[in-house]
Amino acid sequence: MVAANVLKLRGGGGGLLLSCRSRGGIGGGGGGPLLSSSCFSLSCYSRGVVGNWNGVGMLMVRGSLSLSPSISLHSKTASAPASRRVFAFHNVADSSSVTETSSSSSSSSSNVNDDPVMIKDAANTLDIRVGHILRAWRHAEADSLYVEEVDVGEPQPRLICSGLVKYIPLEHLQDKKVIVLSNLKPRNMRGIKSYGMLMAASDASHENVELLVPPEDSLLGERVWFGSADEKEDLPDAATPNQIQKKKIWELVQPHLKTDASCVAALGTHFMRTSAGVVICRSLKNANIS
């Protein structure tokens, strides 16, 4: 069964033009042009076919579709693969009314948020590292913020601002190993630019917050990954901060990060780990991670 988006054109006056940018074309069942005029064009960027089926003009394409003003007309047809979108045009000489309805489609972008493979792949482009807090102090201009100087294995330590004042005593931050998300875009936080985020677990009410803790023998600056111990070799390059922001990678991944019943940090069924073992929090079970 073909899952389809369907465009239905009704009304009087006007016209419709379709242009095809790749193999395929536009034609009628008898080989003549099916559509003409210059109201707007529907462009397909992959293989496509236009023909007639029971008196209804049919456009079948595979790939992205866009509407743009232009004039183009083809009369040849080509076969289309079975996996396709189908657009049905009723009263094709007319474009004064255009509606679109959608049925389920394997290409639906809404499925991305539920695809565990894609989520894991995205998570492993996050540059999550083992860090060491060299020192921490209260932010002079923000009562809710700490400022931490964190070594993540780079030539210079990073300054990171964290909203942890309500949850963690300052002395519990000093000289601690932590987990740092380091490829977010820097943010100005009340006059101090913050270059990353300390990752922490919190309960549902957000009344209790605990920092994630790497194994004691973890290497400073080592990248953290999600999966089995032997998957470290397949870890992809980290995305750039611009890619993280543009593709909303953190927004995609974060809702799936939790601790399990043993307080181990995980992405679904995939543990967060370093070469020395799994990442944990002290006591929060089944807690959200951010």
Residue 112 lies in a domain: no
Residue 113 lies in a domain: no
Q: What is the pLDDT of residues 152-168, one digit of tens each?
A: 999 999 999 999 999 99
Residue 126 lies in a domain: yes
Last residue of a domain, one of 107, 131, 160: 107
Q: Is the pLDDT of residue 69 over 60?
A: no
Going from the C-alpha of 54 to that of each of 57, 88, 89, 105, the distances in angstroms are 8, 11, 12, 24
- 40 and 177 inside one domain: no
**Average per-residue pLDDT for the chain:** 75
Query: Which CATH number characterizes residue 197's domain?
Result: 2.40.50.140
Q: How many structural domains are present in the chain?
A: 2
- 259 and 139 inside one domain: yes
Could you tell me which of 181, 176, 182 has the C-alpha nearest to residue 216?
Answer: 176
Residues 50, 73: contact at Cβ < 8 Å? no
- 273 and 246 inside one domain: yes
- 19 and 138 inside one domain: no
pLDDT score for 46: 36
114 pLDDT band, cuts 50/70/90, is: confident
Residue type at position 215: P
Residue 115 lies in a domain: no
Residue 114 lies in a domain: no
Last residue of a domain, one of 107, 138, 156: 107
DSSP-assigned states of every residue in 253-277: HGGGEEE-TTSBEEETTEEEEETTE
- 142 and 238 inside one domain: yes
227 pLDDT band, cuts 50/70/90, is: very high
216 pLDDT band, cuts 50/70/90, is: very high
Q: Is the pLDDT of residue 136 over 90?
A: yes
For residue 122, give the H/E element and its range.
helix 116-123
* pTM of this prediction exceeds 0.85: no
pLDDT score for 186: 97
Q: Is the pLDDT of residue 17 over 60?
A: no
- 150 and 243 inside one domain: yes
Residue 78 lies in a domain: yes
Going from the C-alpha of 56 to that of each of 53, 139, 145, 233, the distances in angstroms are 5, 68, 64, 54
Last residue of a domain, one of 76, 107, 138: 107
- 103 and 144 inside one domain: no
**Residue-range definition of the domain harbouring residue 83:** 5-107
Least confident of 64-78, 141-155, 168-182, 244-258: 64-78
Q: How far apart are CA 99 and CA 8, in angstroms?
A: 6
- 131 and 255 inside one domain: yes
Task: Please indicate whether residue 199 or residue 111 has the higher confidence score (pLDDT).
Answer: 199
111 pLDDT band, cuts 50/70/90, is: low
Task: Please indicate whether residue 28 or residue 215 has the higher confidence score (pLDDT).
Answer: 215
